[in-house]
Amino acid sequence: MLIIGEKLSIIAKRVREAMMNRDKGPIQEIARAQYEAGAGMIDANIGPAEDGGEELMEWMVTTIQEAVPLPVCLDTTNYAAIEAGLKVHNNDHGIPMINSTSNDPERFPMLELAAKYNCLIIGLTVGKGGLPADEEERAAIAAEIMARAMEYGVSLENLYLDPLVLQIATTQEQAIKVIRAVEMFQQLNEPPMKTVVGLSNISNGCPKNVRPILNKYYFLMLLNAGLDAAIADPAEMKEAMEEKPLFDAVLAGQEIEDKEKMQIMKKTIDVIEGNTLYAHSYLEM
Amino acid sequence: MAFVEPKETFSGRVIPVTIGTEIQQTFGGENTLPFHKFEGEIPNRPLIALEIQDVAPEDWPETVRKVYEGVSEDPVKWAKYCEDELKAKAIAIRLVGTHPDNKDLSADDAVKVVKGVLDAVKAPLIILGSNHIEKDAEVLPRVAEVAKGRNCIIGKAQEKNYKTIAAAAMANEHKLIAMSELDINLSKQLNILLTQMGFSKEKIITDPMCSALGYGLEYTYSVMERIRLAALAQNDEVMQPPLLGDVGMYVWKIKETQASEETLPEWGSLEERGILWEAMTASSLMLSGAELLIMRHPKALEMVERFVDELV
């Protein structure tokens, strides 16, 4: 399992300010904390970065790799910024990843870069239109992205298919469909296609105390479905891995000693599987 | 081999709610989908209440306003007319006059109106605020108090003011409408919050927010349908209170119930059109799960009642 640390995102105020001021301190501190918690790659989300994106991505990649011996996941829609980041990336720390291409023609050029620099790339299974309705639509889009990748000369082993995790608070029925999509994606090729998710979106919009619970147990269910990588909070994922034996027991319908934890796990499984309707206070029911 | 009709049965049941004292009405109580009497028990018909207001209905279209001509200036007369002449099974009084953008009537004014109506009629009463968060929190507790002992429905409690209104409904032994804005998860959340403050789920009526035919009815329809399925198939206890379709106020403000025959002759008779529009909206919501409806035009109500006659 590859955990791609999600914390260096322009959405976070502290990170955004550090990016704008080119202040290495907070960036390297966050990168180190994620490395120590078990991240195998660091996501650098600089947003659309229309102005000065190239220079910012270069700075991010070198700043991160100065602090930790990890590859970087280059996260922006700005093609030039991705290329600038790839040029300065130290591949002794591992192969970088492009986040992302999709079935939207505007995103096809990312495949060119993946072929040119022989790096990993995420294929988000969305098209130009609306969001995919179910796992079948996701698999159909995945097949198109795979064909396109081969056309551009990207090895399928370098392509990570992303089913697009949606918010459980507003689109509960999608949670289980994404798990099924992860299963289906693997069957699209031999050896099986690799899969990745942007995990925390599952709990976006949920109360603070509920978010880590949903993130952890959803991750474990995806892991059981064969997931290869997750853009996530490495500290949370570490906790999840520690809880995995207990969680698997509860999933299998067994009793565990900690009844309170068992209830939390059961209720969360029911919400993810769609057996009960999600509400912000679902754990208090 | 004989053909066996497939039947879908459910573990959950909608909570039956009884309102009123001298005259009582009960709705809800079924353990099957709307009108699926071949699959379960449906002990009660949906209840349809006629809507009146604390102030003259100046913003209602002429076609429905003229029905109440001569009585709608006075809520007491209006209520009596609904009970005696129109044989309303229940009356919903909406205190729109208390809204700050309307006449900004005080809680004292509202208390007087509600007291007058309570003294004049025996039919169960639904007492509605003006849908203004702060003003409702001020007015509804006062009218709940004056209606103590009459087993009314008070509403609507929303996420931002439910505590005050629910506390008043609880203290004065009324039922409560819990309204959220077309979001099934928030609807469940509000019902959980109410039960967490000690309000019995047996006394809640869920309002997932209505919409008129042609103006998002399908959203309300879908939310109601999913709430009903959660109540029945998943046995989700907080989703088992009956559902409200507050039809009249959404139907009688849209173009189709107002545009004149001169402007749009191809749309046909304005009066007939409005009545049909309200009846169609109400029947659709009944089919998706509404057990309590609030309507304005007695002819539309009559149509829906006839429709129910055919189905029960």
Q: Mean pLDDT over all residues of chain B?
A: 97
Give the closest of B184, B234, B238 to A275, CB-based.
B234
CA–CA dist A193, B81 (Å, integer): 72
| Chain A residues with CB within 8 Å of chain B CB | 169-170, 172, 275-281, 284-285
Could you tell me which chain A residue has the CA closest to the CA of B238? A285
Could you tell me which chain A residue has the CA closest to the CA of B223? A277
Average pLDDT over residues B299-306: 98
Q: Does B238 touch chain A (CB under 8 A)?
A: yes
Q: Does B229 touch chain A (CB under 8 A)?
A: no
In angstroms, the separation between the Cα of residue B185 and the nearest Cα of chain A is 5
Best mutation target, A166, A172, A272, A277, to test chain B (most B CBs within 10 A): A277
CA–CA dist A259, A265 (Å, integer): 10
Average pLDDT over residues B82-86: 98
Q: Do B189 and A276 touch (CB under 8 A)?
A: no
CA–CA dist B296, B150 (Å, integer): 23
Give the closest of A170, A172, A279 to B189, CB-based.
A279
Strands B290-295 and B47-53 come out as: parallel
Residue A128's pLDDT is 84
Best mutation target, B180, B186, B189, to test chain A (most A CBs within 10 A): B189
Residue B150's pLDDT is 98
List, for residues B244-255, the tens digit of each pLDDT value. Answer: 999 999 999 999
CA–CA dist A63, A85 (Å, integer): 11
Helix (H) or strand (E) holding A222: helix A211-224
Q: Mean pLDDT in each 10-residue stretch from start to end of chain A (285 residues)?
A: 97 97 98 98 94 96 98 97 98 97 95 98 92 95 97 97 97 97 97 98 97 98 98 98 98 96 98 97 94
pLDDT surpassing 90 at residue B67: yes
CA–CA dist A208, A94 (Å, integer): 34
Residue closest to A206 by CA, chosen among A175, A167, A165 = A167
Residue closest to B282 by CA, chosen among B61, B51, B123 = B51
Q: Do A276 and B236 touch (CB under 8 A)?
A: yes
Q: Spell out which residues of chain A touch residue B234, defining contact as CB-CB under 8 Å.
A: 275-277
Q: Do B185 and A279 touch (CB under 8 A)?
A: yes
B209-to-A65, B140, B217 alpha-carbon distances in Å: 53, 19, 10
Could you tell me which chain A residue has the CA closest to the CA of B233? A275
Q: Spell out which residues of chain A touch residue B230, defining contact as CB-CB under 8 Å.
A: 276-277
Q: Do A285 and B193 touch (CB under 8 A)?
A: no
Contact, A12 vs A29, CB < 8 A? no
Residue closest to A28 by CA, chosen among A61, A52, A54, A56 = A61
CA–CA dist B98, B140 (Å, integer): 10
Strands A72-75 and A41-45 come out as: parallel
Q: Do A280 and B238 touch (CB under 8 A)?
A: no
> Alpha helix (H) ranges present in chain B?
62-65, 75-84, 107-120, 133-146, 162-171, 184-196, 217-232, 247-251, 270-288, 298-311
Give the closest of A170, A276, A281 to B189, CB-based.
A281
Give the closest of A275, A276, A280 to B189, CB-based.
A280
pLDDT surpassing 90 at residue B5: no
Give the closest of B188, B226, B234 to A279, CB-based.
B188
In angstroms, the separation between the Cα of residue A231 and the nearest Cα of chain B is 27
A262-to-A251, B27, B246 alpha-carbon distances in Å: 10, 38, 41
Q: Do B238 and A285 touch (CB under 8 A)?
A: yes
Residue A50's pLDDT is 86
Q: Do A277 and B189 touch (CB under 8 A)?
A: no
In angstroms, the separation between the Cα of residue A263 and the nearest Cα of chain B is 16
Burial class (CB in 10 A: 0-12, 13-18, 19+), A249: middle
Residue A166's pLDDT is 98
List, for residues B87-143, the tens digit of each pLDDT value. Answer: 999 999 999 999 999 999 999 999 999 999 999 999 999 999 999 999 999 999 999
CA–CA dist B134, B161 (Å, integer): 7
Contact, B85 vs B92, CB < 8 A? no
Q: Does B185 touch chain A (CB under 8 A)?
A: yes
Residue B163's pLDDT is 98
List, for residues B156-192, the tens digit of each pLDDT value. Answer: 999 999 999 999 999 999 999 999 999 999 999 999 9
Q: Can you list the positions of beta strands (E) in chain A?
A: 2-5, 41-45, 72-75, 97-102, 120-124, 159-162, 194-198, 229-232
Strands B91-94 and B47-53 come out as: parallel
Strands A159-162 and A120-124 come out as: parallel
CA–CA dist B158, B64 (Å, integer): 29
Q: Does the N-terminal peptide bond of residue A216 adopt cis geometry, omega within 30 degrees of 0?
A: no
